[in-house]
Homo-oligomer: A and B are copies of this chain.
């Protein structure tokens, strides 16, 4: 079993696992910033409240990175996760819909941070085109979508339009050659295989909280 297995021979890694990898990365970045050189799975498990075996399993997907009896080297593991997550180079992102949400996302730290760059906002509204977000992300015309994607080497799109427009936008994005899309519109999109879609449904999150409160009221906890 060669250590430092390359990512290309990884077996399918679940969505849940990759989400946790991001969490680990954030933790490691913090640990590195405070000068910690080594960390054990048990220690990380404490920090979030996770199970240490799960952390070891997650990390072991990519080869053996720890040292028995010692733990993991913080910097080395961090660098490795950065590479595995594919954010060791900058990826260009566009946001479709320059409304409230689109504008807010465009200026959001963490969207314009290591690994990602918002290249443009895109809208159909002539009144918005030519303007820019607070931090200076330009609003470009939807009609130019294909050209923008090509010329700016865009890899990821964020859908921040109304529910009614989302399916058309999704189809156009696929047509424009994008393979990764993050959707904020509250609709069930008819998806295209091969194109990775993640959806964030704000409304559902609120309803889930409401459901919880209802349970408390009814005494079901």
Residues of A participating in the B interface, judged by any CB pair closer than 8 Å:
7-8, 10, 15, 18-19, 21-23, 25-27, 47-48, 84-87, 91, 93, 100-101, 103-105, 107-111, 113, 115-116, 134, 155-156, 162, 179-182, 186, 188, 196, 198, 200-220
Chain B, residue nearest A110 (CB): B203
Chain B, residue nearest A11 (CB): B220
Docked Cα-Cα span, A209 to B180, in Å, equals 6
In the complex, the answer to whether B47 meets A188 with C-beta atoms within 8 Å is: yes
Partner of A198, one of B104, B209, B217, B218: B209
Chain B, residue nearest A99 (CB): B104
A202-B108, A213-B155 given; A207·B87 CB < 8 A: yes
A100-B134, A220-B8, A220-B10 given; A105·B202 CB < 8 A: yes
Docked Cα-Cα span, A18 to B206, in Å, equals 11
A186-B26, A213-B155 given; A108·B115 CB < 8 A: no
Chain B residues with CB under 8 Å of A211's CB are: 18, 21, 84-86
Docked Cα-Cα span, A218 to B211, in Å, equals 42
Q: A87-B207, A180-B212, A196-B213 are in contact. List 7 more A-B contacts (CB 8 A).
A: A7-B220, A23-B188, A86-B211, A100-B104, A179-B213, A180-B213, A198-B209
Chain B residues with CB under 8 Å of A85's CB are: 207, 210-211, 214
Partner of A86, one of B108, B110, B113, B217: B217
Max count, chain B CB within 10 A of own CB: residue among A107, A115, A209: A209
Docked Cα-Cα span, A78 to B27, in Å, equals 43
6 A-B contacts (beta carbon < 8 Å): A8-B219, A18-B207, A87-B210, A115-B207, A181-B209, A196-B212
Chain B residues with CB under 8 Å of A47's CB are: 188
**Nearest chain B CB to A167's CB is how many angstroms away?**
13
A100-B134, A211-B86, A213-B155 given; A23·B206 CB < 8 A: no
Chain B residues with CB under 8 Å of A100's CB are: 103-104, 107-108, 134
**Nearest chain B CB to A214's CB is how many angstroms away?**
3
